[in-house]
Structures are given as structure tokens and as C-alpha cells.
Amino acid sequence: MENNELTKIEEFCKKIKNTSPEKIDELWFKCGWMDSEKGKNKSLPDWRLKKIKENSEFCKNSIKNLLLETPLREFEKELENY
């Protein structure tokens, strides 16, 4: 991953950490992510949402994984609404 992409991921993570778990779940859902353990949520299980908010490294890795499935431009577009 290039430095520019890593910087963007860090910026995304900062923005996401200030967002509610429901909004994070909605963002992942709109980007097409569907965790097999999602439970009552649209996309991510509660434990994963909590960890995204509380742990910067986990947040960055979760975004990197999402970007393997979702084009960066699409993720940025969806994130603008949060």
C-alpha cells in the first residue's frame, strides 16, 4: 500500500471513530460488506463495531479489508455522508 493510501486510511479511521456504531454498520453495508456474524445488524457484529471505535489498529485493518472488496472512490463517496 502506498503512503498516500495509508494516510487516507488513517484519516478515514479518525472520522469513523467519531461516528456511532449504527452509522459504521450502515457504511460497511452500503459498501457491500456482509459479515457472517452480523447478528441483528446490517453488516457487522456488535463486537466488531465496538473494536473499530476503540482500537485504531483494528479500525485501520478493517478499512483495509473493506477496501479489498470496495473501490476506494466508492468508500470515500459513502464516507462523505458520515
Q: Where are the domains of the chain?
A: 3-79
What is the number of other CB atoms lying within 10 angstroms of the CB of residue 49? Answer: 22
pTM for the full model? Answer: 0.81
Measuring CA to CA, how many Å separate 2 from each of 14, 56, 57? 19, 19, 17
Residue corresponding to grid cell 468508500? 75
Q: State yes or no: pLDDT of 1 exceeds 60.
A: no
| pLDDT on residue 80 | 78
Task: Give the tens place of pLDDT for each residue, 3-60.
Answer: 677 788 899 899 888 889 999 999 999 888 888 888 899 999 999 999 999 999 999 9
Give the confidence band of 2 by pLDDT, cuts at 50, 70, 90: low
